Amino acid sequence: MRKFVGWYTSQLYILSFLCAILLGCSTTPNLPYQGSGYPGSFSKLALNNRLLANELGKLPELQDGISEKEARALDAIVKFYQGNPNAFDSAFKQMHQIGLPEVRKYCSPLQSMFWLAEDDELEGNKDLIEGYSLEKLLDMSWKFGSFLKMSEFQLTQILNGIKNKKVRKNYLAIRKRLPSGILTKYINEDYRKNKFAFTKESRKIIEDIKDPRWKNFDVVTERLNAPELIDYYERRRFNYGYNSQGGVHDVRDYFYVFKYNQGHCVQITAFTIYCLRKAGYIAKEILVPGYVAAYHALTLFEMNGKRYIMDNGTPAPAGIHPYVKGK
């Protein structure tokens, strides 16, 4: 009997795990951090906008305590707020409406502003709140493939690891004329488009020095907690293709899409659905007649009581648009 119970329990665990993978698990909001470390100016912010202060306290950066760098970032946000409270309140109201507050762990647009403060890029950018735009905020803060410090030795190793001899020769030639910072931007763009153009050794160097904010699947999918955020990420991050050099992968393997930033319509749709369901939205795959293949997969989801399509699994991503049955 004990043997049967053990087998049954293990099968139930496996089934639960598979359901979680296939359906996506909704999250629950973080609790605002209640410990020490907040700068003295933070209490003034809490008096003016309690909701803003609470949402800042929910950011994952603060959940394990507040470092000196994080305290300085919070102080920078307070000063930025004091420069134009009305504009900031208006911008934050729009940030707070992105996603489902009762489900998401935290407000991702607010995290983006925290990052800018942490990186000393907030001061002087009043246009972030005066005429607020989510896309403008993400353009400034979501630096997907940005490198951390790269030594000249690492740069040399990366360039020598470009497989195509002609491309490698061109890079080595322009290196003599361009600053390293500009050169790394070109490398980053080429790597984003096709990481397999670089040797395994070069890829390891690049991955090791990339911004860690975008490396972990669970962390990133928690951040993508609204349709608008998922759409922005997929349009700028993913490339359409069937490249199998990364290994054999299942058609629903959204981990593959995340790891290689490339996939076909079914894979990218699987990633979209996983993120939407994790964020608390109703979402499913639908199939429509394809242009090249027999069918094309895209995502049908509900937002604010209406139905929408998200279709980024094409060479030219279509993004989000209202769902019209029969089209």
In tens, the pLDDT along 67-102 reads 999 999 999 999 999 999 999 999 999 999 999 999
Residues 21 and 23: their CA atoms lie apart, in Å, by 6
Name the domain boundary from 141, 163, 184.
141
Judgement on whether residues 51 and 96 belong to the same structural domain of the protein: yes
Judgement on whether residues 122 and 49 belong to the same structural domain of the protein: yes
Residue 63 belongs to a domain: yes
Name the domain boundary from 114, 141, 168.
141
Average pLDDT over residues 10-34: 63
Residue 22 belongs to a domain: no
Judgement on whether residues 46 and 137 belong to the same structural domain of the protein: yes
Instruction: Give the residue with greater pLDDT, 184 vs 172.
Output: 172
Judgement on whether residues 194 and 284 belong to the same structural domain of the protein: no
Please choose, from the candidates 184, 185, 182, 204, the residue with its C-alpha nearest in 3D space to the C-alpha of residue 195. 204
Judgement on whether residues 135 and 163 belong to the same structural domain of the protein: no
| pLDDT of 64 over the 60 cut | yes
| pLDDT of 266 over the 60 cut | yes
Residue 249 belongs to a domain: yes
Residue 292 belongs to a domain: yes
| pLDDT of 191 over the 90 cut | no
Average pLDDT over residues 127-153: 86
| pLDDT of 25 over the 80 cut | no
Strands 319-322 and 283-289: unpaired
Q: Does residue 196 contact residue 243 with C-beta atoms inside 8 Å?
A: yes
Residue 167 belongs to a domain: yes
254 falls in which pLDDT band (50, 70, 90)? confident
| pLDDT of 247 over the 80 cut | no
Residue 180 belongs to a domain: yes
Q: What per-residue confidence (pLDDT) applies to 10? A: 42
Dig out the tokens for 232 from the structure.
């922005």
Residues 256 and 262: their CA atoms lie apart, in Å, by 8
Average pLDDT over residues 151-173: 90
Judgement on whether residues 47 and 124 belong to the same structural domain of the protein: yes
143 falls in which pLDDT band (50, 70, 90)? confident
Residues 168 and 158: their CA atoms lie apart, in Å, by 10
Residue 67 belongs to a domain: yes
Q: Does residue 130 contact residue 121 with C-beta atoms inside 8 Å?
A: no
Residue 180, CA atoms < 13 Å, CB-side half-sphere: 12
| pLDDT of 148 over the 70 cut | no
Residue 231 belongs to a domain: no
Of the given ranges (130-134, 177-181, 273-277), which has the lowest mean pLDDT? Answer: 177-181
Domain ranges, residue 198: 152-210
Residues 31 and 313: their CA atoms lie apart, in Å, by 36
Average pLDDT over residues 270-279: 96
Instruction: Give the residue with greater pLDDT, 48 vs 175.
Output: 48
If one counts the domains in the chain, the total is 3
The one-character DSSP state at 31 is P
Which DSSP helix (H) or strand (E) runs through 198? none
Q: Does residue 96 contact residue 51 with C-beta atoms inside 8 Å?
A: yes
Give the best-scoring range by mean pLDDT among 144-153, 185-194, 307-316: 307-316
232 falls in which pLDDT band (50, 70, 90)? very high
The percent of the chain in helix, strand and coil, each rounded to the nearest 5, is: 55, 10, 35
